[in-house]
Structure 1
């Protein structure tokens, strides 16, 4: 978890284990005690795997896949639109656990689609949020009926709410409203939402997608509870966060494309915006805008050569270290000896999208410099990491249905899911996070 408000208690068993270790170590000479503590730490934590060489090759070992023994699909409450499928269609799955009023509150959200469309475009109808007392559920749509009695339950924000704008209170900016053209018809959608609890208030960071008038990240703040009502922060009244640049599909109008996939990182009383794929900025103390509003600083990263297009930047702190996540397409090609090459390459002749992976780098400081990236999860790209109420680390995944392995017609029914996968930390020596690799006798602790 990334907020000072997300404090979890240390389990009694963990505390007693730590005390026993200290007492035992105190009976040994200092050097011997240090050696025993180091050896004990190594025994408690799994080892790092050697990285494929050269830098930029992908690790595709089955242990790094979300599997039945280390992951599951969240049983989210179905909306009327979900009943035929029997499962919520979701991309960019986001899950977190916050301590509110002394109790853990689990939240889930993501990119969803409207009935009759195969994807979340060229338009969708906004942002839905689910709540649960436990990671296993029961997961219920947040109760928005007291705010909008006639609207679909669980929908906390949508371009449809533009009629709620009032002097001094903007809910939907003009650049976020639906619009129409001859190529796509109705256009405009919200992508990749995240829900955060910071300084006792609920925030949602999300992105207006490729079919919107302006494409980029924005933030909402609740004037009530997690159900809202939400309004747009001042810094997004005229545009998304950051500067426009050339990017995105060709149908995006010049000057409309800004940095997408916005994320919020908090530590203590401070908060930062994280933008794909290399930018960040600190929020003003009132959380209404970032400083600076343009010309944002960059993370210091060890880039691939050449560097491909990355998405879904997210920062998570654990064990005193900062972990920077990205989503990267693992593309296959053919080596000179005829074998298959798996790498985080840009598009090119002979290269085929295979898996939408999660790659991670680690640093002592938020801005970097960050280590070389490693494959943390195969097919688990565009995710976030969180700790459950016991401190167990998890990541989300959704199985990208657009291209690659999961686009095969035989697998499409199992794509676009609200999935979570257990993670493992390789300890203060290795300082890596991986999808939990196969180990006998490990059970759920949530």
Structure 2
């Protein structure tokens, strides 16, 4: 999570219409595509360097709030479509050649000013050849970079760090042999392990890259099949490609204290707070954890400031509150936006009509779309407003600002359950997608996937 108003930063983690496909999703309006291929003007570049969005014209209106609170807005106007989104043409690894597209969950894209020039970065959860998911193990974290959102997107050049190793892989449990006294790359709790149920176990999930105080940081999570499950922070000792090492605060465990959670196969005491994210503003940075906690980082970024209990964002919760994931904070227009991923479950109401709601699991409730829900506040801590549906199927995403001051969000189309798990659509799921975002201005203070024939 990051701020569109941070001086070194241009701005975390949506769907196409039902008939959409990878090919259709790759189209952008000509004006947008042309703008992405040219350098920004001097004025625009200065505004970007100052973290200011480019001024726009009349703002779109807020959508009416579905009642009662916790109903989902499932209208197709909030889906990523061929006119407002596309799939990033990331450089393929050998494992991607057969599919012709990078398989990715938890897509993260951002744009930072590095050495006076905008630099786009992309990462996400990926899988190894032969597995259908990023479980029970994967081989770490890959990074792509580009000077334009439209590409070309190239794997980070890691050849100078690990000659002969797979290009673009910046961190992996495989790198445990790089540990040295006083420098840990892979902690013991992050190493691969084996058991009779799953065989090889351990994976990295939901990575994010951040450029803070002229240093690259990578926050990620060891997934459900790991020795310990939870979030950690890596710091680069070079450029965006690394080499990365683990910070001191994660040498023995993930951030936060263990609690009961996750699948039944997770060992007692192993589950910590997942989906770690980073928010920076000025010279300060905060960690955001699943699904409502935060903590300030120490000034040296080697750990979070110690506290008896991690504070929680003040939120307007649903009743009952369902399971949420992917907490992320984004600042825009002087306001703080708190993002969550929530499953929109369908059922039939008492009148026989479809009901779409952010309900906990229950009889007659079917997972439909993995949505991005957002709330807004005047302060980082809250209180935050009621949540609204910002993007149908856009859950576990991030917002960012491109080099021209335009707002975007990421999406990946969840392949595990719901709409995109249907066999007829599965080939178009788990992709590195981006979708344009519209702001309803200082009065509306809402962010939505860009709607048809609306906005500036």
Relative to the length of structure 2, the TM-score reads 0.89
Q: State the distance in 2 between where 1:104 and 1:320 align.
A: 22
Which residue number in structure 2 is paired with residue 28 of structure 1? none
Matched, 1:301 2:315: yes
Which residue number in structure 1 is paired with residue 109 of structure 2? 95
Which residue number in structure 2 is paired with residue 271 of structure 1? 285
Match of 1:285 among 288, 299, 322: 299
Unaligned runs of 5+ in 2: 12-39, 47-54
Q: 1:56-108 deviations in whole A, cap 9, x for unaligned?
A: 00001111000000000000000000000000000000000000011000000
C-alpha spacing 1:160/1:14, structure 2 compared with 1 (3 Å): closer
C-alpha spacing 1:42/1:391, structure 2 compared with 1 (3 Å): closer
Q: State the distance in 1 between where 2:69 and 2:407 align.
A: 27
Structure 1 residue 153 displacement after superposition: 0.2
More RCO (CA 8 Å, sep 6+): 2
Which residue number in structure 2 is paired with residue 117 of structure 1? 131
**Conservation of the 8 A alpha-carbon contact between 1:4 and 1:266:** no
Which residue number in structure 2 is paired with residue 370 of structure 1? 384
Which residue number in structure 1 is paired with residue 35 of structure 2? none
**Conservation of the 8 A alpha-carbon contact between 2:10 and 2:401:** no
Match of 1:5 among 5, 8, 27: 8
Matched, 1:161 2:175: yes
**Conservation of the 8 A alpha-carbon contact between 1:242 and 1:294:** no
C-alpha spacing 1:223/1:293, structure 2 compared with 1 (3 Å): farther
Match of 2:234 among 211, 214, 220: 220
Within-5 A mapping of 1:54-203? 54-203=68-217
| 3-state secondary structure, aligned to 2:438 | strand
C-alpha spacing 1:293/1:252, structure 2 compared with 1 (3 Å): farther
Q: State the distance in 1 between where 2:57 and 2:252 align.
A: 54
| 3-state secondary structure, aligned to 2:189 | helix
Matched, 1:382 2:396: yes
Q: State the distance in 2 between where 1:162 and 1:406 align.
A: 36
| 3-state secondary structure, aligned to 2:443 | helix
Larger Rg: 1
C-alpha spacing 1:299/1:215, structure 2 compared with 1 (3 Å): same
Q: State the distance in 1 between where 2:9 and 2:341 align.
A: 25
Q: 1:168-200 deviations in whole A, cap 9, x for unaligned?
A: 000000000000000000000000000000000
**Conservation of the 8 A alpha-carbon contact between 1:243 and 1:294:** no
Which residue number in structure 2 is paired with residue 29 of structure 1? none
| 3-state secondary structure, aligned to 1:406 | helix
Structure 1 residue 295 displacement after superposition: 1.3
Relative to the length of structure 1, the TM-score reads 0.91
Q: State the distance in 2 between where 1:300 and 1:98 align.
A: 29
C-alpha spacing 1:440/1:216, structure 2 compared with 1 (3 Å): closer
Structure 1 residue 150 displacement after superposition: 2.1
**Conservation of the 8 A alpha-carbon contact between 2:141 and 2:169:** yes
- Paired residue total: 417
Which residue number in structure 2 is paired with residue 254 of structure 1? 268
Unaligned runs of 5+ in 1: 16-40
Structure 1 residue 7 displacement after superposition: 6.0
What is the CA RMSD across the aligned residues, in angstroms? 1.8
C-alpha spacing 1:283/1:13, structure 2 compared with 1 (3 Å): closer
**Conservation of the 8 A alpha-carbon contact between 1:52 and 1:59:** yes
Q: 1:16-46 deviations in whole A, cap 9, x for unaligned?
A: xxxxxxxxxxxxxxxxxxxxxxxxx997100
Which residue number in structure 1 is paired with residue 259 of structure 2? 245
Structure 1 residue 292 displacement after superposition: 2.2
| 3-state secondary structure, aligned to 2:86 | strand
Q: State the distance in 2 between where 1:355 and 1:342 align.
A: 9
C-alpha spacing 1:13/1:219, structure 2 compared with 1 (3 Å): closer
